[in-house]
Amino acid sequence: MRQSRALPYILISPSLALILAFVFYPTLYGFQLSFMRMIPLTGEFEFAGLENYSALLGARELWESARVTLFFGVQYVAVVIILGFALALIMNRKPRAMGLYMTLIFVPWVLSDVVASIIWRILFNQQIGIIELTMRNFPFWPKLGLITTPQGALWVMVLLGLWRGLPFAMLLLLAGLQTISRELIEAARIDGASSWRAFFSVTLPLMRSQALVLLLLASIGAVNAAATFLAVTQGGPGRYTEVLGLFLYRTGFQFFRIDHGSTIAVMMFLINLSLTLVYLRAFRSEYRL
Amino acid sequence: MSAQPARALPVRPVVRQTAISTIVRRTIGRGLLHLLIIAVCWIMVFPVLWTVSTSFKLEPDIMRYPPVWIPNPATLEGYRSVVEDGRLFRYITNTFILSGTSMVITVLVASLAGYAFSRFRFAGRDLILLFILATVLIPGLTQLIPLYQMIKVMGLLNTYQGLIIIYAAHGLPFTIWILKSFFDAVPIELEEAAMIDGCTPVQALARVILPISAPGLMAASVLNFVGHWNEFLTALVFTSKDEMRNVSVGLYNYLGWYGSVYNRISAAALLVIVPVLILFFIGRKNFVQGMVEGALKG
């Protein structure tokens, strides 16, 4: 570490300027817009107090979207953690050709929102979808196609999220598993613990911080999902898969209600913030122990 | 504690014999492990392979049930129509310009900051670093509307500059973090030697630290490039002119026009991911490592 007066500030100033102007300021500006009313036609704004908030909180659409987001989030986060863990445990056995397997598993992670959405629409297409047509032989499968029913469409989106989110979840947990020394587990085994017991009493507790990071990242990802919903279901059938993010996009850019859209954005920001704080709290008590 | 097994080794009473049955059991176990992993790999990859297959099919094969994997006859019809249409290449060019420029700006600017945070002690250092890293947690979606308003007021809708500046700024926090941790790993003596030879700190950064940190720069560049290449919502709201669109927005509109011309939409989607897949296969080691570090430490 060196002492220097001006140089470090000169070095960080371009970064700081860009971040302040295009990451930090927009957040504040968004708050400001949420307290403004948009004057039709002129596109100018005037102060409106909490008008947007009361209008939105009184609207059924917001609560419907919040409910769908919650459903989606809970299903996605729970399954991605469980499957991610299972996959990490498997990969932790360090099979030969590990590099090849990892590369293949990571393919969906590389795809963009729109490309992944196109692929998903083809798989679940009512006329030609390979998954759709294969599964239609089962009695529980909706006759008109999974994507046409409210719960089915949401499952299609959960599956899409899993397909794309699983590689990263696995990687994160695998990195955690690899920090646990073999000796610790062997010591438990020598003391007479079964391999299940060793897993639950040694491995799992040591993985809590990785699991928390994953929980945080996956829930933030789920709360802010919008692009794939726009490209796969467009919120349908009806509004049943119109998650908060899509509701925000629609309000702001299809109904051109910048003021209401900003208000939804602020609400989503607060949801994100509280999720982060809750998890960070859990973290801190983790380290104190 | 860990030293004990080593000491215990010479007096171990029985040398464990590996019975044939154990070998058989282990082989079966390993076989099952591989089968399981191959099944997982198949689930992850088959949607892409199915799209590849669809892109070479003609209408009757697309509609066929039970589904066929190998198109008969195979056709380049889907690709031909995309190429003839030509718009996709405009989108690809745009996206190269957008992603490449933003990537260069981000990595240059972030390496200066990463160097400062790695090597200097200055008032407010920890606080500023914490602030920068905390902005990673602000979801881009919640900034969509304010950014749109700002860019509109600046008159930069439907321009490259508007998107580039947003992409560059939003890539900064995690890039600074990745580069800082790579710089931290460079021994300070190397730099001191360079300075004794008369280098200024910035020259030391350019001639000593950056070359040594090449894998870090590589990882940061690829992550930025791929992130921008795939970006969708910001580009969607910033560009209304077709000739300014990036690949994601272009493909999204394609989906509206040709969503049911399955070989064509599949071909277009595949053409778009080729650059990213190439980058991914070239740099996958750095790529994955950079991600883990970013996620675990950030």
B38-56 residue pLDDT tens: 999 999 999 999 999 999 9
Q: Is residue B9 part of a domain?
A: no
What end-to-end distance do the CA atoms of chain B give, in Å? Answer: 33
pLDDT > 60? residue B292? no
Q: Is A80 on the interface with B (CB under 8 A)?
A: no
A105 vs B115: CB contact, 8 Å cut-off?
no
**Domain termination site, one of B25, B49, B75:** B75
Same domain, B58 and B91: no
Contacts of B249 in chain A (CB under 8 A): 114
Same domain, B64 and B107: no
Token pair of B266 as six digits: 């599949």
CA distance A56 to A37: 13
Nearest by Cα to A119 from A110, A170, B68, A168: A110
**With bands split at pLDDT 50, 70 and 90, how would you rate the model's confidence at B71?**
confident
**With bands split at pLDDT 50, 70 and 90, how would you rate the model's confidence at B11?**
very low
> How confident is the model at residue B289, as a pLDDT?
58
Q: Is residue B63 part of a domain?
A: yes
Contacts of B194 in chain A (CB under 8 A): none
| Cβ neighbours, 10 Å, residue A205 | 9
pLDDT > 70? residue A288? no
Q: Is residue B11 part of a domain?
A: no
CA B136 to each of CA A218, B26, B141, B174: distance values in angstroms, whole numbers, following the listed order: 14, 46, 12, 7
Nearest by Cα to B158 from B74, B46, B82, B235: B235
> How confident is the model at residue A243, as a pLDDT?
95
**With bands split at pLDDT 50, 70 and 90, how would you rate the model's confidence at B278?**
confident
Contacts of B115 in chain A (CB under 8 A): 11
What's the average model confidence in pLDDT over B54-61? Answer: 88
Q: Nearest-CA residue of chain A relative to B278?
A: A110
Token pair of B276 as six digits: 């990213």
Q: Nearest-CA residue of chain A relative to B5?
A: A183
Q: Is A26 on the interface with B (CB under 8 A)?
A: yes
Q: Is A175 on the interface with B (CB under 8 A)?
A: yes
pLDDT > 50? residue B222? yes
What end-to-end distance do the CA atoms of chain A give, in Å? Answer: 32
- Give the H/E segment covering residue A2: strand A2-3
CB B96 within 8 A of CB B228: no
Same domain, B171 and B24: no
Q: Is A240 helix (H, G, I), strand (E, B) or coil?
A: coil
Residue B164 CB-density burial (10 A; 0-12 exposed, 13-18 middle, 19+ buried): buried
CA distance B280 to B278: 5
pLDDT > 90? residue A238? no
Domain limits for position B265: 81-297
> How confident is the model at residue B235, as a pLDDT?
95
Same domain, B136 and B248: yes
CB B113 within 8 A of CB B176: yes
What's the average model confidence in pLDDT over B101-117? Answer: 95
CA B134 to each of CA A139, B150, B171: distance values in angstroms, whole numbers, following the listed order: 49, 22, 13
**With bands split at pLDDT 50, 70 and 90, how would you rate the model's confidence at B258?**
confident
Q: Is A201 on the interface with B (CB under 8 A)?
A: no
pLDDT > 50? residue A289? no
B183 vs B14 pLDDT, higher one: B183
> How confident is the model at residue B40, as a pLDDT?
94
pTM: 0.87
A87-142 residue pLDDT tens: 999 888 877 788 888 888 989 988 999 999 999 999 998 888 888 888 888 888 88
Same domain, B54 and B107: no
Mean pLDDT comparison of A139-148, A158-167, B193-202, B280-289, highest-scoring range: A158-167
Considering only CA atoms, give the Rg of chain A. 23
pLDDT > 90? residue A211? no
Q: Is residue B1 part of a domain?
A: no
Q: Is A20 on the interface with B (CB under 8 A)?
A: no
Q: Is A129 on the interface with B (CB under 8 A)?
A: no
> How confident is the model at residue A102, as a pLDDT?
87
**With bands split at pLDDT 50, 70 and 90, how would you rate the model's confidence at A15?**
very high
Q: What is the DSSP letter of B209?
A: I
CA distance B250 to B236: 9
**With bands split at pLDDT 50, 70 and 90, how would you rate the model's confidence at B7?**
very low
Q: Is A72 on the interface with B (CB under 8 A)?
A: no
**Three-point CA angle B253, B254, B257, nearest 5°:** 90
Same domain, B123 and B61: no
Residue A28 CB-density burial (10 A; 0-12 exposed, 13-18 middle, 19+ buried): exposed
pLDDT > 70? residue A22? yes
Same domain, B156 and B38: no
Nearest by Cα to A215 from A140, A163, A276, A129: A276
B148-186 residue pLDDT tens: 999 999 999 999 999 999 999 999 999 999 999 899 988
Tokens 């794939």 correspond to what residue? A228
CA distance A51 to A254: 21
What's the average model confidence in pLDDT over B144-149? Answer: 94
- Which of B41, B266, B295 minimises the CB distance to A122? B266
Contacts of B266 in chain A (CB under 8 A): 118, 122
ipTM of this predicted structure: 0.88
> How confident is the model at residue A46, as a pLDDT?
85
Same domain, B195 and B288: yes
> How confident is the model at residue B20, as a pLDDT?
76
pLDDT > 50? residue A201? yes
| Cβ neighbours, 10 Å, residue B290 | 25
A38-56 residue pLDDT tens: 887 777 888 888 989 999 9
Total domain count, chain B? 2
Q: What is the DSSP letter of A3?
A: E
Q: Is residue B263 part of a domain?
A: yes
Same domain, B122 and B215: yes
Token pair of A204 as six digits: 């799992």
Q: Is residue B5 part of a domain?
A: no
What CATH number did the domain enclosing B257 receive?
Answer: 1.10.3720.10
- One-letter identity of residue A55: A
Mean residue pLDDT of chain B comes to: 85
- Which of B54, B148, B165 minimises the CB distance to A22? B165
Q: Is residue B53 part of a domain?
A: yes
Q: What is the CATH number of domain A31-288?
A: 1.10.3720.10
Q: Is A272 on the interface with B (CB under 8 A)?
A: yes
Q: Is A187 on the interface with B (CB under 8 A)?
A: yes
B92-106 residue pLDDT tens: 999 999 999 999 999
B29 vs A168 pLDDT, higher one: A168
> How confident is the model at residue A2, as a pLDDT?
55
CA distance B224 to B171: 6
> How confident is the model at residue A23, as a pLDDT?
93
Residue B117 CB-density burial (10 A; 0-12 exposed, 13-18 middle, 19+ buried): buried
Tokens 């002492």 correspond to what residue? A3
CA distance B18 to B271: 53
Q: Is residue B160 part of a domain?
A: yes
Same domain, B66 and B108: no
pLDDT > 90? residue B144? yes
Same domain, B121 and B197: yes
Same domain, B36 and B121: no
- Which of B115, B145, B269 minimises the CB distance to A258? B145
How many separate helices (H) and strands (E) can be counted in chain A?
A: 16, 3
- One-letter identity of residue A99: G
**Three-point CA angle B250, B248, B144, nearest 5°:** 110
